[in-house]
Amino acid sequence: MIKILSAIFALIMALLPSSGTEERRCDPVYNGTFIQSWMSSYWDDGRWAEEVENMQNAGIEYLIIQDTANLSSDGTWQIYYPSELEVFSGTECYSDVIESALNACDGSDIKVFVGLAMFDDWWVQSAITGTYNQVCSVMADMAEEISEKYEGVYGFYFTPEINNMPTMKLSSGNIIEGLNTLIEKIPEDKPLILSPYYTEYISVPFVLSAESLWVKIINKVNFRDGDIIAPQDAVGAGWIQENDLEKIWKMYRTAVDTADKDIKLWANCENFTLARGKSIISGIFVPPATLNVNSVPCTIDRFANQLDIASEYCDNIITFSYNHYHSPSYVNPAFEKTYLDYIENGFTVENEKPSVPQNLTSADGVLSWDGSEDNIGISHYIIYKDNKAVAFVEETSAHEFNFTQDGKYSIEAVDAAGNVSERGYF
């Protein structure tokens, strides 16, 4: 009865307007990052040492390896550590990403979470079929094996991304059962971290519906003190619009506060913009289309806003992903430089505009220009046709753009902070 009353009170509190005077629960910076196993599986010791140094410079304290095993739709496994589990018998190990990460981070004070198993059909089946519970049993065995095999593993990551789509609501009982199967095998001193997300599309379209799901999960899963729920803010993937962030974080905070255990609420703020094509259902059943055709780092002004909102409700902030979208060894160094400048300037994003693109020409179906200058670095260029944005050109690409239709073209330079130059005309 007490839990039911607590859940009802939580729902009522979520309906109340924000006072706008909340103090920060943490600083608006991130100190942890996800890394996908495929990325680091090719790194040698030198590349790992370089990346650990990069992460330390950026203030990283937690490294979360994503899935170290994946079940394909055809029933075959991919694994990223040498396992002796029968389920992986005959499966080729790509590389031991766990040992590589632990060795590289040894002595750096970076704590390593190990992601467990994922399956391709999760996005269609969720936990409705038996595959989910089978994979959770595999995860439980993996957690036990990894804890015995490796020293220095700080915790584990539950890889299936729970969300508020109808299939998740329908299979919530199975989701809870699978999580409890896993938690039973995880040592008490190793926290479990989950990273779910909320979607405004193809879902039950109410925040309170999602909150009721999370109240149920939080109060029926056998979480331990110190376990972590770190929702993706889902802005980078397009599932949430920036102006809806506060109500979503308030929803998670309210749900977590109903727990009997000392569960931590972390934020997983996305520092990228996923590329999405346009279709007739864009913005209705799927996120809106984007101008960028590749997934790219987002500008730091947007990211700073995400961090700022999350800091009011969450106990800590991590990101997907420093290694994929901020590391100067992998992407344009301007993004990390601008982010570090934001921290050094008291969580204020610099506002100096880039110079206007110069020497603009249009000939033989090609627009070309000289790169703009900026105090830190250019992110990308936006090309307009008749004052309508038609193309996103990454700064690392050649400074040219093919066009085939007549019209009046112009261009703006955008720096890594999101500052926009005056427009140049071809």
Share of the chain above pLDDT 70, in %: 93
Indicate the average pLDDT of the chain.
Answer: 92
- Check residue 184 and give its pLDDT: 98
Q: In 214-312, where do the E strands start and end?
A: 228-229, 264-270, 272-273, 296-297
Strands laid side by side in the 388-394 sheet: 388-394, 378-385, 409-415, 424-425
Considering the segment(s) 2-344 as one domain, its CATH architecture is: Alpha-Beta Barrel (3.20)
Are 172 and 217 contacting, i.e. CB atoms less than 8 angstroms apart? yes
**For residues 130 and 43, what is the distance between their CA atoms, to the nearest angstrom?**
36
**For residues 114 and 157, what is the distance between their CA atoms, to the nearest angstrom?**
6
* Residue among 403, 244, 245, 409 at smallest CA distance from 311: 245
**pLDDT value at 19 more than 50:** no
pLDDT of 221-267, one tens digit each? 999 999 999 999 999 999 999 999 999 999 999 999 999 999 999 99
**pLDDT value at 171 more than 60:** yes
**pLDDT value at 397 more than 70:** no
**pLDDT value at 83 more than 70:** yes
**For residues 266 and 304, what is the distance between their CA atoms, to the nearest angstrom?**
16
**pLDDT value at 276 more than 80:** yes
Residue 3: pLDDT band (50, 70, 90) is very low
Top-confidence residue, 10 or 151: 151
- Check residue 204 and give its pLDDT: 63
What's the mean pLDDT in 175-192?
98
Top-confidence residue, 392 or 22: 392
**pLDDT value at 205 more than 70:** no
**For residues 314 and 25, what is the distance between their CA atoms, to the nearest angstrom?**
6
What's the mean pLDDT in 274-278?
94
Which burial class, exposed, middle or buried, applies to 30 when counting CB atoms under 10 A from its CB (0-12, 13-18, 19+)?
buried
Which of 20-29, 71-80, 384-393 shows the lowest mean pLDDT across its residues? 20-29
Helices (H), 86-223: 97-105, 122-125, 131-149, 166-170, 172-183, 207-220
End-to-end C-alpha distance for the chain, whole angstroms:
70
Which residues, in sequence order, are bridge partners of residue 79?
Answer: 69, 93
**pLDDT value at 203 more than 80:** no
3-state SS string over 346-406? CCCCCCCCCCCCEEEEEECCEEEEECCCCCCCEEEEEEEECCEEEEEEECCCCCEEECCCC
> What is the residue extent of each domain of the chain?
2-344, 358-425
Q: Could you tell me the pTM of the whole model?
A: 0.92
Topology classification of domain 358-425: Immunoglobulin-like (2.60.40)
**For residues 270 and 245, what is the distance between their CA atoms, to the nearest angstrom?**
12
